[in-house]
Amino acid sequence: MKKPHNIHQFFSGSCEFRIGAMNYDQIPESRLPEVAFIGKSNVGKSSLINALVSKKIAITSKTPGRTRQLNFFCVGEKLNLVDMPGFGYAKVSKTEIDSWEKLIYRYFANRVNLKKAFLLLDARRGLSEKDIEMINIFNAVGVSYQLVLTKIDELKSDELEKVVKEIAEKSRKFAAQHPVILMTSSERDIGIDDLKKAIVEVM
Ligand code: GDP
């Protein structure tokens, strides 16, 4: 796959919603490189995806009924972007959580065109048990992934340094992890270009 010359142009070009897959059979076949975004509810995922493509696309994922779907978007007909809404969401039943987790697991275990998963972490909260569960899945099925801190504008630089150090220490033992933790703020437009570069790198 040819990498785009101008990443800014690429990400601000077309971005179309393709499908919200509620079960495994609805996941569309594709040969395009794919990246997935996952994180706990309220981590700032919609804001980050919107900042990435300079459009309010991720609002789609918040439409009632779509919060338990894998939402597929196509960027510039060259890249698939998958928005995986809110894991660790407390307000749903155990059965719903189970079927959602099974769907996510099957997706990660079988998606051959998936290049990288971005696991989003709220900078104020660090790495939770639920995030570690997700990391264990990535490692079990061999998905390469990268941690992305969100809302870094909420922390002072020394606080941020401490959080990054803690996360790096806790997650060092995981083999499939990209060594660089991306630091972002959608609100202040920090780290969005680094995220763009990290995506283009794997295309
Ligand atoms: P999602 O549930 O993961 O999709 O999260 P949203 O993108 O909807 O954001 C959840 C909340 O966090 C909202 O109130 C946002 O305004 C806020 N938020 C998102 N990104 C940032 C950020 O970069 N900085 C700050 N301070 N707040 C943010």
Q: Is the CB of 47 under 6 A from ligand 1?
A: yes
Query: So what's the pLDDT on residue 135?
Result: 92
Query: Measuring from atom 4 of ligand 1, which residue has the nearest CA?
Result: 46
| Residue 98 banded pLDDT, cuts 50, 70, 90 | confident
Which residues, listed in sequence order, are joined to residue 80 by a DSSP beta bridge?
34, 74
Query: So what's the pLDDT on residue 55?
Result: 84
CA of 48 to the centre of ligand 1 (A): 8
Query: So what's the pLDDT on residue 162?
Result: 96
> Could you give the count of Cα atoms lying within 13 Å of 22 in the half-sphere of its Cβ?
5
Query: So what's the pLDDT on residue 4?
Result: 77
CA of 190 to the centre of ligand 1 (A): 14
- Atom from ligand 1 closest to the CA of residue 184: 23
- Best of 37, 38, 47, 188 for a ligand 1 pocket test (most atoms within 8 Å of beta carbon): 47
8-63: pLDDT as tens digits? 889 989 999 999 999 999 999 999 999 999 999 889 999 999 999 998 887 655 66
Q: Check whether 68 has a pLDDT greater than 90.
A: no
Query: So what's the pLDDT on residue 91?
Result: 67
- pTM across the whole model: 0.94
Beta strands in 1-142, from DSSP E residues, in sequence order: 15-21, 34-40, 70-75, 79-87, 114-122
